[in-house]
Structure 1
């Protein structure tokens, strides 16, 4: 598969009309149709269901659309990084969940941009599966992983920060007056949980004998939308500290769990992979940042 043909395919998949896609690509409609037909022959699958004036992606076409985006992103990123080997330039891309550790990460990234203005920064937010997928495809340089998750096959470095689990409630909720939340406190309450925490059963032991009485009504991926449910008194929220605005005006209160649950934080990258100059600089400066904290502790 040529990159040029993948670009043709993506434009066609976006427009779902051969004529409009050809106009967008500045090629003739017959030439585009021939390129798509040749691609289908090469792959041995049909990518589109052809109807008058309208195309529909087949399941194979939907899969190729997702993969083609990853391939072309990686190709463009590689090209920029190769063209910038003489100086520190290119793209630095990090996938991460929401965490207090991102302040350290962002501080290091900000310092790099100040010293090397041609560097372009990209932060992609998502859970472990999101970050791992993009790391494996090579479209990000690093992933920040929250929790005791499998890191086999990756180079990794543990960050000194730790996240603290707790419950986010509306400020007028009776729980808001408590210093800590125990499993008994949330029995029969409507609760939304982190999707990652739910998948990996982070609270199973903490719930203990109350597990069957805990009412998890749903999950969230990133925390902001979950806080809206809390503000509407629709649910309370199991979340990490310092992710939500809990100022006096916010209407929200965070209370830590008891017994406490802490989450370790690691930054990971692919083993036996030569990092780009800007990625290596980031890693070196991140290590130095951690060492500086150790010295002054």
Structure 2
């Protein structure tokens, strides 16, 4: 498979139409159609369901699209970093979830971008499994991992910051009068759990014997969307203290758990991989900021 042909394939998948894709790529439609037919013959699969005025992806096409997107992104990133190898420039890509520790990361990156305008930053947001996937396939230089997740396969740094788990609720909720929330306080209540907490069974372990006494209505991975359910009095939400930006008048309040539960924050990267100059600079400054504390 040639990169040029993969780029053709992605363009057709995005447009859903051979004619529009050909115009976008500045190539004749017959030539483009022939390239895709050759690709299908090479792979031994059909990539598109062909209708009169529309092309849709087959399951094989959907898989190739996800892989081709990653391959083309990694190729562009590699080319950018090699082109900028004589000076500090190129792309710095960080995959991360929401966390207080990101402020330290952003402070360092802000300094680098100010000093080296040729640096381009790419922030990829998602939970720990998403960040780890981006790191493993090479489309991210660093991943920010929140929680006590094994990182033995990677090089890592632990940030000084820690996030604290708690419950978000409306100010008129009976529990809003308490200073902390204990497991027995949640008996009979509906709970919206963090996707990461649910995957790692963090909150369920904290509940202990009371786990079956609460109603888990689902999970979320974007804090804002979960907050809307809390505002509607649909559920209480398990979240981390430093992810909240409660606006004045929102009538929401956050209460920490008792016993308390904290989440460590780690910056991880692949072992025995030659980092780009900008990634090396970022890592150097991150270490300096941590060891200075």
- Report what 1:224 is aligned to: 224
Unaligned runs of 5+ in 1: none
Q: How does 1:1-297 map to 2 (within 5 A)?
A: 1-293=1-293
Q: CA deviation at 1:248?
A: 4.1
Secondary structure, counterpart of 1:219 in structure 2: strand
Q: CA deviation at 1:287?
A: 0.3
With normalisation by structure 1, the TM-score equals: 0.96
Q: CA deviation at 1:166?
A: 0.2
- CA distance in 1: counterparts of 2:151 and 2:242, whole angstroms: 25
Contact map agreement 1:227 1:244 (CA 8 A) in 2: no
- CA distance in 2: counterparts of 1:149 and 1:129, whole angstroms: 10
Secondary structure, counterpart of 1:192 in structure 2: strand
Unaligned runs of 5+ in 2: none
- CA distance in 2: counterparts of 1:152 and 1:286, whole angstroms: 20
Secondary structure, counterpart of 1:203 in structure 2: helix
Secondary structure, counterpart of 2:193 in structure 1: strand
- CA distance in 1: counterparts of 2:68 and 2:251, whole angstroms: 44
Secondary structure, counterpart of 2:180 in structure 1: coil
Q: Cα deviations across residues 152-204 of structure 1 (Å, max 9, x unaligned)?
A: 32111111111100001112211111110001111111110111110110122
Contact map agreement 1:89 1:116 (CA 8 A) in 2: yes
Q: CA deviation at 1:131?
A: 0.5
Secondary structure, counterpart of 2:181 in structure 1: coil
Q: CA deviation at 1:249?
A: 2.6
Q: CA deviation at 1:251?
A: 1.7
Secondary structure, counterpart of 1:242 in structure 2: helix
Contact map agreement 1:246 1:254 (CA 8 A) in 2: no
- CA distance in 1: counterparts of 2:25 and 2:245, whole angstroms: 45
Contact map agreement 1:245 1:252 (CA 8 A) in 2: no
Q: CA deviation at 1:247?
A: 5.0
Q: Cα deviations across residues 215-239 of structure 1 (Å, max 9, x unaligned)?
A: 1101001211111111111111000
| Number of aligned positions between the proteins | 293
Q: Which stretches of structure 1, 4 residues or more, deviate above 3 A after TM superposition?
A: none
Computed over aligned residues only, the root mean square deviation of the Cα atoms, in angstroms, reads 1.0
Q: CA deviation at 1:250?
A: 2.8
Q: Cα deviations across residues 88-115 of structure 1 (Å, max 9, x unaligned)?
A: 0111110111111111111111111111
Further displaced range: 249-258 or 160-169 = 249-258
